[in-house]
Structure 1
Amino acid sequence: MNKTLLIIQREYLSRVKNKTFLLTTILTPLLFVLLIGGSVFLSMKGQENQRIAVSDSNGFFKDHLTNSSKLTFEFPQGVDTSNYLARGYSAILMIPKFEGTSKSNYILRSKKSIGIAAEGAIEDKINGAIEDHMLELAGVHRAALDSIHKESRFAALKSYQEKGSSASESSGQLAYIIGYASGFLIYLTMFIYGVMLMRGVMEEKTNRIAEVVISSVRPFQLMMGKIIGIGAVGLTQFLLWVVLIIILYSGAQYLIAPETMQQVQAMQQNGGMAMGGQTSAMAEKIYNIQHVFGIVNWPLVIGCFVFYFLGGYLFYAALFAAAGSAVEDIQNSQSLTMPITMPIIFSFIIMTTAINSPDSPVAVWASIIPFSSPIVMMARIAYGVPGTVPYWQLALSMLSLVVGFLFTTWLAGKIYRTGILMYGKKITWAEMLKWGFKKV
């Protein structure tokens, strides 16, 4: 046990004390924010304003075909398919004669593709113009219809999940976000830290350090120490991210006007009801966000996330370590890592289904099987325990993951003992499994 603790200490401290660890811990959240913000900014800037000439055979589209920030419709005289480019238009829209409700083809001609988003927007604008014209013929004004539609949007749906004789408020949208984000983080970290462990094993094999270590430590102890040590690095990084988010959240509150925060507190004391109609829109948004986040069982969600974060990593890290012990460079490891990465990718695909249908048979069984439970179960837990996820399913999932981790660590240790001493030979998983199950 002391040897295992020494290995854990070495693996943990050698990485945590590294400057790269501190930089990645601080910069990774900022990089994600910049990446998302940059993508949105570039997507908005990348959309050119399309100036479209319209050839209308009906005469009413000019009054009903509305412009937008990215689409400008004009009805010039003497513009056709032969000269629209020379007249400064990016495309020409030819509208056929409107005959009742019969379907017609509306032709858009352009020199280059204007993109699927612009095509969909133009089609929506055409259908909207036809709808406006038909409403006008029926004696209904669009302005009156829009006013009624806007004023009628006062129903607020609140969802409650029954728990025995009581019921608690729930939010399907927030559960979707939490489930997807949790599953994606576990999916990402299993790849990152699994490959990190595999590279560490490969380096020790190349430098022949492992030959010295293996002579004084049992394979299971060595595997357990390396896996837990690197897993603790990942958990430390995650906890630092949580602390950073809390600090940013606390700092953001000081940027909000005191009057707005007072209004939020007043709404909290009155069950969300505005006092005398004096509550600002910003205060209502802040209250709604706090209220929705307040109905989540955060101790359960965070506790399960930590368990499945570590359990998923420990389960797959042992397999990555076994693959690393059998190869000498990263190029030869690709054929061995494919059987490990495919279940992780497949689990992520199932998760995208589970967050929409958490009670489906595929989601239930995938949340119990150790190969997929770390990712899929988190997508289900966000919808509630024991409502969506019964206690027996959660217990069985956790137990199977622990047993699976112990098994893969034991198997990886036996493979490591043989593979770490093999040089200059291409190894397959069939041969590695023989090493794992052979009697010593």
Structure 2
Amino acid sequence: MAISVFPKVNLRRTFLIARRDYLGYVKTVGFWISFLMPFIGIAVGYAFTQFDVEVSPPRYESILDETGQHKSGILALHEARNRQQFERLITSLEGAMLDAETASSIKETLRTEGAEAAQAAIESKVPSLKGQLKPIENKLNFIEPPAETLDAIKPYLVGEKMITLQGKDRPLDGLLRITQGPDGPVVNYWSKNINANAAKDLTEDYFKALAETQFLATGGLTREGFKAAQKGRLNVESFDPTKVVGEAESQEVTKADRIPYFVAAGLSIFLWLTVFSGAYMLLTSMLEEKLNKLLEMMLASTRFSEIIFGKLLGVAALTLTAMAPYIILGVMGIIAVILHDNSEITQALLASFTPKIIIFFFIFLVLGYIFYGACFIAMGALSQSMQDAQTITTPIVIVLTLCIMVVPIGLNAPDSSLLRIASLFPLSAPFAVIIRLPSDPPLWELILSAVMLALVSLGVIWAAGRVFRYGVLSGSGVGAIQGWFKRVILRRKAS
């Protein structure tokens, strides 16, 4: 008599089980709280920007320099850093909203006329940013000390006396006091906020630079010469000999060439999160129903195979529903960038989502979920408690954690032989294949990896069905398996 490898499945009963698992979670308040949390976070963040809610309000502090030598240097360093921060903003707009000549002109305006003039220049060149850039306001602002001694300033620090800024009274947030000690300057920082470090860090950086400058001067060297030597370092440019370009282009490696690898890394991590969260929900669902004797009632009218496939289908739908907010926000963000930006980077982002990567992403998403889901179902059937389940699942959780390590390998060494082996190894194949796709691996390797994972998944489903039957009907657990291993494999007699 021929024995069928594939179990018989009634689609209607399978669907009922899937619907039961899906609705069992979706009907809970906690699920909808977690589902709406990303949108609530965006709404709260938008409200903060619209109503000018300050999460970290600006601080107004003073410098009491009793030596008369360091206050101007600290203020100059502070101003230079603020200018560098605004220059980074201009650089980020260069290529996307500003051409190179305009960006250079605005940077010159920043150096000569200040931040407000530079901001006005940006808004005049890019009208869509008008009103979008918040007024330039530093989180750390230095003002003149309200008194000439520490004892006279302390009442302002504790709020007994107020300073007047823009017509409003407020306490002084902090004070840097610089005195001359026997071994050099001594700096004390006074503030009610014991976690405020901005002024302290700025002062430490100033004195570090001052010490370096004084040391260089002892040998007849200057800091300007040291910086000029650093700028003279050789910059090595990268070129890709396999890059197909037009007549007016070169084979130089640009940021746009690296974007597909970061997209693949993001998809691989998303796949890992989806598989892990879905498999864990399968484990808890199976364990809960086993402990409550619900599985025994279901088996009166349902096959083992129908329960397994139903749970896989139901939790898969639940996982996709739970991930839906992040999928929606991600897709909306990509579409918004593509529609409002015609830069080279945007074109590279659009070109990253090729039919090849989309097709294989969904193939390995399904296969990876089935593979690990069946493993967790079997573990849930064998567990007698949540502590028992955590002990059993520890090895596979460690394996899952190790598998995601292929992502940094794929970013740094996409031609690694280890990565190729990982793409053929069923446990890591779902994640390794995705991160390899930007380097255009041979199609036969991708198909071979998918076929091998599909065959192993079928074997895991078959084994999970046997373990499921053994664990549920006989009520056996890990202890029974250990006893079988000692009796059959180690040939030990029961004590």
Instruction: Please report the TM-score for the alignment, with normalisation by the length of structure 1.
Output: 0.64
Unaligned runs of 5+ in 1: 98-103, 150-156, 254-260, 265-282
Partner of 1:70: 139
Alignment of 1:32-431 (within 5 A): 32-35=38-41, 45-46=55-56, 49=59, 51-53=61-63, 55=65, 57=67, 59=69, 61-62=71-72, 64-67=76-79, 69-73=138-142, 76=145, 78-79=148-149, 85-88=154-157, 90-92=174-176, 94=178, 107=187, 109-110=189-190, 113-114=194-195, 123=204, 162=242, 171-211=256-296, 214=299, 219=304, 222-231=307-316, 234=319, 285-288=341-344, 290-381=346-437, 384-386=438-440, 389-423=441-475, 427=478, 431=482
Bigger radius of gyration: 2
Q: Contact 1:195–1:320 (CA<8 Å) still a contact in 2?
A: yes
Change (3 A) 1:426 1:16: closer
Partner of 2:493: none
Counterpart CA distance in 1 for 2:290 and 2:470 is 12
1:325, CA displacement in angstroms? 0.8
Counterpart CA distance in 2 for 1:4 and 1:380 is 39
1:203, CA displacement in angstroms? 3.7
1:62, CA displacement in angstroms? 0.8
Change (3 A) 1:28 1:125: farther
Partner of 1:3: 9
Q: Which amino acid counterpart does residue 32 of structure 1 have in structure 2?
A: P
Counterpart CA distance in 2 for 1:303 and 1:117 is 49
Change (3 A) 1:52 1:130: farther
Alignment root-mean-square deviation, CA: 5.2
Counterpart CA distance in 2 for 1:343 and 1:7 is 33
Question: Tell me, what secondary structure is at the counterpart of 2:386?
Answer: coil
Q: Which amino acid counterpart does residue 478 of structure 2 have in structure 1?
A: I
Change (3 A) 1:161 1:349: same
Change (3 A) 1:248 1:125: same
Change (3 A) 1:411 1:49: farther
Pairing partner for 2:19 from 13, 17, 28 = 13
Deviates more, 1:67-76 or 1:239-248: 239-248
Question: Tell me, what secondary structure is at the counterpart of 1:333?
Answer: helix
Counterpart CA distance in 2 for 1:304 and 1:286 is 28
Change (3 A) 1:245 1:132: same
Partner of 1:273: none
Partner of 1:31: 37
Please list the CA deviations of residues 231-262 of structure 1 after superposition, one character each: whole Å capped at 9, or x if unmatched: 35545776897678768987x69xxxxxxx9x
- Give aligned pairs, total: 382
Partner of 2:108: none
Q: Which amino acid counterpart does residue 174 of structure 2 have in structure 1?
A: S
Please list the CA deviations of residues 336-358 of structure 1 after superposition, one character each: whole Å capped at 9, or x if unmatched: 22222222223334424533443
Deviates more, 1:44-53 or 1:398-407: 44-53
Q: Which amino acid counterpart does residue 171 of structure 1 have in structure 2?
A: A
Counterpart CA distance in 1 for 2:9 and 2:18 is 14
Question: Tell me, what secondary structure is at the counterpart of 1:371?
Answer: coil
Please list the CA deviations of residues 141-195 of structure 1 after superposition, one character each: whole Å capped at 9, or x if unmatched: xxxx9xxx9xxxxxxx998782689989983553354234323322222232212
Q: Which amino acid counterpart does residue 162 of structure 1 have in structure 2?
A: T
Question: Tell me, what secondary structure is at the counterpart of 1:3?
Answer: coil
